Amino acid sequence: GGVLGTLHCDTVQAPNQQRIEIFGENGALIMDDWNVTLHRLKTPVQEFLETDKTIKFIAPESEAETFKFEVVGGGHAPAIDDFALAILEGKEPAITGEDGARSQELVAAITLSGCRGEKVSLPVDRSEYDGLMEELRRTRKLPSD
Domain ends where: 20, 54, 71?
Answer: 71
Q: What percent of the chain has pLDDT over 70?
A: 91
| CA torsion angle 43 45 51 54 (round to 10) | 100
Q: What is the Cα–Cα distance from 34 to 69, expressed in whole angstroms?
A: 5
Q: Are 67 and 83 part of one and the same domain?
A: no
Q: Are 58 and 79 part of one and the same domain?
A: no
Mind listing the pLDDT tens digit for each residue in 111-127? 999 898 888 999 999 99
How many CB atoms lie under 10 A from the CB of residue 40?
A: 13
Q: Which residues sit opposite 30 in a β-bridge?
A: 21, 37
Mind listing the pLDDT tens digit for each residue in 21-58? 888 889 999 998 778 999 999 999 888 888 877 777 78
How many CB atoms lie under 10 A from the CB of residue 24?
A: 11
Identify the domain containing residue 93 by its residue range: 73-145
- The structural domain count of the chain equals 2
Domain ends where: 71, 94, 114?
Answer: 71
**Alpha helices of 40-91 — where are they, by DSSP H?**
45-51, 77-89
Q: Are 44 and 63 part of one and the same domain?
A: yes
Decide: 86 and 78 in contact? Cβ < 8 Å: no
Domain ends where: 71, 99, 116?
Answer: 71
Mind listing the pLDDT tens digit for each residue in 81-121? 999 999 999 999 998 989 989 999 999 999 999 898 888 99
